[in-house]
Amino acid sequence: MAFEVRFEDSRTRARVGRLTTPHGAVETPVFMDVGTLGTVKALEPRDLEELGTQVVLGNTYHLLLRPGAEVIAAAGGLHRFMRWDGPILTDSGGFQVFSLARMRQITEEGCRFNSHIDGHEFFLGPKESMAMQRVLGSDIAMVFDECLPYPCARERAEKSVEQTLRWARRSKEEPHAEGQQVFGIVQGGIHDDLRRHCAEELVAIGFDGYAIGGVSVGEPEEFMYRAVEASVPFLPKDSPRYVMGLGVPHQMAECVARGVDMFDCVIPTRIARHGTAITRHGNVAIKAAKWTFDPGPVEEGCDCYCCRNFSRSYVRHLLACDEILGLRLLTIHNVRALNRFMEEMRSAIAGGTFSEWKEQIRKETTNNE
């Protein structure tokens, strides 16, 4: 098996695992950095290595539009194009087609849509998505699915889950890149029985891992955990589980307690560009005037290049002047902050102190400014 559970928490469903891919092993629970257009925004591959990033996520939709399949095929795949030698996970593009593009037509084969960049017409369905992910050569490909919005009426959700399951089957049948794992996606919104049904059907098809989709789409926090609780018990224990689009520390800890192994989110890089630092004591607006003279690092005790070298005063000044270095330093810090967070989490699980650690985290990190 590509996934090995190495430690299990005795009081929760949390576990430490190792996922083996053609580009190396991934220690789970893992937070994956989003590299939308073939770059984790403002960072280089050497930065990601230094920061302890294990997996980069590529967006099939964005890369299909720019630079397009031909350019990446000519480069020999996304790893070579962006020069990242570690594992890459690609999404299917379904989420972006439904949320970003101007939709023209949805059929059993997929979606006809216009690019949100230049209006150019594209078609993306399970066949096209898997073909593009084959070109990208990702280590982990995601099935093409429909991500349900929140809220979503029962009838709509039922139909959508069946569509997602048919697309999952087609995605599985398409040819994949050598060594490429394929993950199914459990949908079903807030309807527990639909989640269970979707999970069971996906397991019957058989995938290398399972995502829990339609989480972190604007629903209250308790619905997020309920969606996880309604899905995980029906997924194989020996397969990785992945909650897409989630990157808030205490929420990741809660999901891990419910059996989740993988996460991704644009949060660390996006809020860095808006001047916000992720710290163990909540998010901190470094641009604030109160840091004007502050000689301390962005976060005490952090081992990143930003915190080892620069003062809040300096970083605040750079941000106030819209200097690229300011957002780059905060991006470096935020990526490292989440990677450190996951390292700590893995240690806590392996050391049998996960529940206490999680409770402490909940108290500390929800102190956002």
Name the site residues for a second copy (rule: CB under 8 A).
37-39, 41-46, 66-67, 70-71, 74-75, 81-83, 292-293, 295, 305, 309-311, 313-314, 317-318, 320-321, 323-325, 327-329
Helix or strand (DSSP H, E) at 15:
strand 15-21
Catalytic residue among 9, 47, 208, 264: 264
Q: Which residues of 2-11 are buried (b: 16+ CB within 10 A; e: fewer)?
A: bbebeeebee
Which two three-digit tokens encode residue 307? 């915190």
Query: Is 29 in a helix, a strand, or coil?
Result: coil
| CB-nearer residue toward a second copy: 7 or 305 | 305
| CB-nearer residue toward a second copy: 38 or 268 | 38
| CB-nearer residue toward a second copy: 67 or 236 | 67
Helix or strand (DSSP H, E) at 199:
helix 192-205
Contact 136, 116 (CB under 8 A): no
Q: Exposed (0-12), middle (13-18) or buried (19+): which is 220, by Cβ within 10 Å?
A: exposed
| CB-nearer residue toward a second copy: 112 or 317 | 317
Q: What are the φ and ψ backbone dihedral angles of 161, each rounded to 5 degrees?
A: -60, -40
Query: Closest approach of Cβ 274 to a second copy, in Å?
Result: 14
Which two three-digit tokens encode residue 151? 């809220």
Query: Closest approach of Cβ 248 to a second copy, in Å?
Result: 24
264 catalytic? Reply is: yes
Nearest to 93 by CA among 113, 75, 73: 113
33 catalytic? Reply is: no
Query: Closest approach of Cβ 175 to a second copy, in Å?
Result: 24
Query: Closest approach of Cβ 162 to a second copy, in Å?
Result: 36
Sheet holding 15-21, edge to edge: 3-8, 15-21, 24-28
Cα(133)–Cα(247) distance, integer angstroms = 24
| CB-nearer residue toward a second copy: 36 or 355 | 36
| CB-nearer residue toward a second copy: 49 or 356 | 49
Contact 212, 243 (CB under 8 A): yes
Sheet holding 102-107, edge to edge: 102-107, 110-114, 121-124
**CA angle centred on 263, ends 257 and 265, rounded to 5°:** 130
Query: Closest approach of Cβ 369 to a second copy, in Å?
Result: 21
Cα(139)–Cα(273) distance, integer angstroms = 29
Query: Closest approach of Cβ 41 to a second copy, in Å?
Result: 6
Cα(264)–Cα(79) distance, integer angstroms = 18
Cα(226)–Cα(228) distance, integer angstroms = 5
Residues, the chain: 369
Query: Closest approach of Cβ 55 to a second copy, in Å?
Result: 18
Query: Is 16 in a helix, a strand, or coil?
Result: strand
Catalytic residue among 9, 33, 91, 145: 91
| CB-nearer residue toward a second copy: 75 or 100 | 75
The residues annotated with a catalytic role in the active site are 91, 264
